Structure 1
Amino acid sequence: MGGDIVLWMLGLLVLLILLGTHIGVALAICSGLGVFLILGSFEAAVSILGNTAYEAVRKDVFAVIPLFVLMGDIISRSGAAADLYRICDRTMKRLPGRLAIATIAGNTVFAAVTGVSIASAAAFSRIAYPEMVKVGYRKTFALGSVAGSACLGMLIPPSVLLIVWAILTEMSVGALFIAGIIPGIVLALLFVAYVVIAAARNPDIAPPFQEDLVELTPQELRSELIGGFGILGLIMLVIGGIWTGFFTPTEAAGFGALGALVVGVIKGMRWSDIVAAIIQAGRTTAPIMFLLITASMYSRLLAIGGAVNFIQNLFLGAGLEPWQIITLMIVVWLVLGMLVDSVSIILLTVPIFAPIAMALGLDPIAFAIFGILVIEAGLLTPPFGLLVYTVKGSVPDREATLGMIFKGSTPYFLLILVAALLVLWIPALATWLPKLMF
């Protein structure tokens, strides 16, 4: 009976989302109604869900998200992202498509201090795209490199998606952070390989390098070095601290936010800029925290109704091969990517998909990285790819259309899926470092 009720609630959840109900509100309504129908007592349902929400908020791991988001916002506003891009540009000046490669390299490093793809997309839309257009890059190619490489923000630690996945599955945040390093580097290398091959085959989309005639003043050079090395120092502080066991993820987030503040002050951030970064971090974090609370209630509904075992038996009892079940998961994730954001996709699917993956014998860490990659690919899926709309709203070019961004990001979408399958086929890409360190 409980399984049937949960399935009805899942159907209601999908209907509410399609009708435009906020995902958090829809989760809360379905959780409350489902628990009430299963228990037959309004007081018991309110008590259970109230305690679930309270216990969720009490978890200290919840502090990781606002602190890492704050760290990224401060670094973004300080101008360090632009410094990092210019350094990458000069370092890779002899490679075909060097500005697109600098965008990928900058996003790879910037991802290690933001944790949010949207922040990377917004920053490099304003920093990298005008530079590429100025030297003659084809707009579709330039837009694709910005939108595609921004996806690295959700894989390379610290990643908000990895934190949310860890909270839902009660896995180690630190282990998932470390697990994302090698797949993130592999994905970045796949992006770079595509740019080099595409630019070498068709130089018109990315004109060859021309020596810059403008020399940096000592003040500009100093500012760039502070920004570039400041970001690298933050990466060593946060990831290195977790890696060595010196910090817990929560402590690393706190020190990372403090370090970002120091870099920002040295870069010349004013009090108004710092306050604006704090407010923006709050605006980014509050909806995520609300979603996590309602997702905890949703998970409690699944547990009370025995939904995980019920749905798992439906999948495994249907006679499907493991690869068919995995393919179905991919399709669900990509379709949801057209409709809702990445955090919501994780909240809706992971409590169901993760146990099924474990029943199939998949490694939980490798499956987490695989899932993050596929979900992130959904951010580039038409017609509502969130990253594409972020780039469209951020680039200072009215001629840049959504169609151009979708077309330019298609190769990156395919490469993300390739990286996801590589992790699925070679789990050691994700599991080797965590097993070594933990």
Structure 2
Amino acid sequence: MANTTLILFGFGVLMLLLTLGVPVVVSLGLTSVLGVGLLTGSSDVAISILSSTAFEALRDYVFAVIPLFILMGEFVARSGAALDLYNSINRLMRRVPGRLAVATVLGNAVFGAIVGVSVASAAAFSRIAYPAMCKAGYDKSVSLGCIAGSASLGMLIPPSILMIVWGVLTQQSISKLFLAGVLPGIALALMFALFCIVYAIIKPEAFGRKPELAGADAGTASRDADLPPLSKSELIGTGGCLVMIALVLGGIWSGMFTPTEGAGIGALLALVLALIKGVRWEGFVEVIRETGKAAAPIMCLLIFAQMYSRLLALSGVGGTVQTFVTGLNMDPGMVLLAMVLVWFVLGMFIDSVSIILLTVPIFVPLANSFGIDPYAFALIGILSIEAGIITPPFGLVVFTVKGCVNDPAVTLGQIFWGASPYWMMLLVLALIVYFVPPLATLLPAIL
């Protein structure tokens, strides 16, 4: 009982620190170290456990996968290949209603298979797709909502940083988690694209077209005038992205190399593509700097997350929570619904990685005790978290889009409103995965 009281107190301190705006990495670190010190009765023991945890975490081979995949994405973004990819898909969609919105969704799907980070996708397509949509007369809420909403594909379609962190924390196979995300990722991209097409047919004026151009002609007017043939550079950029995805993911799934080796090969291929596309020394320096800025907080969070896991193990709070919930005789669906609500609400306030680090050590054992498939559970969790980060009041992706758009007339309210159909579809897909687990478990079971 004393341990449980101590943990509840520590959790209250953690929530207070987060509410006061203290960074998650600092809040989690202070709470974990303080909690271990109080449980063991020795600050020396707490510091010793922290140092051994940091050493074990940073020397672990699998942790290198995170900065390497981020490096790969930075090289691709810096080379301009993301713009080439968008332009290529835009041309393929020229006869599709709302083609620019659909191209944004599909572009985010492919780009997400390279960067694995929703915020990176949102930043890239805010600069790439929004100017094109403005030029075509799109409604600002529609265009920015599409960019923010479809950026969530970056955390679902492999390689996903969230899946890597989830796999590290739960000791699940990262390559199988990648496989689990393929079918739901494709399904989500199709749901987003279909929504844009139907919306463009129903309300063509929001997509820059007059009502009389609705239906088969919506989005096709002046297509020959504003869509010149692809240049050689655009073909190289698009082809390079597709080859990179095929080699990296194909190699991981075929067993030719591990996820960490695949990330290294992907980073090398991205470096070659950047050289071909004309990136020079200053660009490489910027890529390394941005990779460090993105990877360092995640690595620090992982260190303190392992410390947090040790705190939970020492206190026995995981078993206490499991016993308490089991004693309520709740249906597994109701338990899962409660978890989804927690993820969704947390997603409104803090970043995705932090949410996983805070909740997964408690939620995963609980889900296992109720017989929920671990791969389906991982996908449901990631979908719920991603839904939260595009909802008010502090949706991280929405704030990223706002910060990257050079348009003072755009308001956060417009972006949140435009993104609302997308987070609803994320939650719908989470529900589908729960009732149809093979959507997430089929490929991991086969390969």
TM-score range, shorter chain: over 0.9
The reply to whether residue 213 of structure 1 matches residue 225 of structure 2 is yes
SS in 1 for 2:224: coil
Contact 2:66 2:295 in 1 (8 A): yes
- Pick one of 247, 258, 266 that aligns with 1:256: 266
- The Cα of 1:8 is off from its aligned counterpart by 1.9
Equivalences for residues 290-369 of structure 1 within 5 A: 290-369=300-379
Report the counterpart of residue 193 of structure 1 in structure 2: 194
- Structure 1 length-normalised TM: 0.97
Report the counterpart of residue 403 of structure 1 in structure 2: 413
Equivalences for residues 132-151 of structure 1 within 5 A: 132-151=133-152
Give distance in 2, aligned partners of 1:171 and 1:366: 12
Q: Which amino acid aligns with 2:380?
A: F
Report the counterpart of residue 56 of structure 2 in structure 1: 55
Report the counterpart of residue 44 of structure 1 in structure 2: 45
| 1:103-162 C-alpha deviation (Å, 9 max, x unpaired) | 001000000100111111111111111111111111111111111100000111111111
The reply to whether residue 80 of structure 1 matches residue 81 of structure 2 is yes
| 1:23-48 C-alpha deviation (Å, 9 max, x unpaired) | 11111221122112222222222222
Query: What CA RMSD, in Å, does the superposition of the two structures yield over aligned residues?
Result: 1.3
Contact 2:85 2:238 in 1 (8 A): yes
Report the counterpart of residue 6 of structure 2 in structure 1: 5
Report the counterpart of residue 162 of structure 2 in structure 1: 161
Contact 1:130 1:396 in 2 (8 A): no
Q: Which amino acid aligns with 1:115?
A: G
- Pick one of 353, 376, 396 that aligns with 1:386: 396
- The Cα of 1:215 is off from its aligned counterpart by 6.8
The reply to whether residue 122 of structure 1 matches residue 123 of structure 2 is yes
Q: Which amino acid aligns with 1:80?
A: A
Report the counterpart of residue 215 of structure 2 in structure 1: none
- The Cα of 1:69 is off from its aligned counterpart by 0.3
SS in 2 for 1:13: helix
Give distance in 1, aligned partners of 2:164 and 2:88: 30
Q: Which amino acid aligns with 2:296?
A: A
- The Cα of 1:318 is off from its aligned counterpart by 2.6
Report the counterpart of residue 241 of structure 1 in structure 2: 251
- Pick one of 381, 386, 411 that aligns with 1:376: 386
- Pick one of 393, 416, 433 that aligns with 1:423: 433
| 1:249-304 C-alpha deviation (Å, 9 max, x unpaired) | 00000000000011111111111111101110100011111111011100000011
Contact 1:388 1:406 in 2 (8 A): yes
Give distance in 1, aligned partners of 2:24 and 2:18: 6
Give distance in 1, aligned partners of 2:46 and 2:274: 47
- The Cα of 1:214 is off from its aligned counterpart by 5.5
Q: Which amino acid aligns with 2:360?
A: V
Report the counterpart of residue 181 of structure 2 in structure 1: 180
Runs of 4+ aligned residues of structure 1 deviating over 4 Å after TM superposition are: 214-217
Contact 2:102 2:196 in 1 (8 A): yes
Contact 2:91 2:227 in 1 (8 A): no
- Pick one of 259, 266, 269 that aligns with 2:279: 269
SS in 1 for 2:225: coil
The reply to whether residue 412 of structure 1 matches residue 422 of structure 2 is yes
Q: Which amino acid aligns with 2:179?
A: I
Q: Which amino acid aligns with 1:256?
A: G
Give the share of equivalent positions with the same residue, in percent. Answer: 54
Q: Which amino acid aligns with 2:403?
A: G
- The Cα of 1:414 is off from its aligned counterpart by 0.3
Q: Which amino acid aligns with 1:360?
A: F
Contact 2:191 2:425 in 1 (8 A): yes
Task: Return 5+ residue gaps in structure 2 as ranges.
Answer: 210-217
- The Cα of 1:6 is off from its aligned counterpart by 1.9
Give distance in 1, aligned partners of 2:20 and 2:148: 28
Give distance in 1, aligned partners of 2:62 and 2:234: 34
| 1:184-211 C-alpha deviation (Å, 9 max, x unpaired) | 0000010011111111111111122222
> For residues 214 and 4 of structure 1, do their structure 2 counterparts lie closer, same or farther at Cα, with a shift above 3 Å needed?
closer
Report the counterpart of residue 104 of structure 1 in structure 2: 105
Name which of structure 1's ranges 202-211 and 102-111 shifts more when overlaid on structure 2: 202-211
Name which of structure 1's ranges 204-213 and 224-233 shifts more when overlaid on structure 2: 204-213
SS in 2 for 1:180: helix
Contact 1:75 1:81 in 2 (8 A): yes
Report the counterpart of residue 172 of structure 2 in structure 1: 171
Q: Which amino acid aligns with 1:282?
A: G
Name which of structure 1's ranges 100-109 and 19-28 shifts more when overlaid on structure 2: 19-28
The reply to whether residue 89 of structure 1 matches residue 99 of structure 2 is no
Contact 1:108 1:152 in 2 (8 A): yes
Aligned residues: 435
- The Cα of 1:216 is off from its aligned counterpart by 4.3
Contact 2:33 2:47 in 1 (8 A): yes
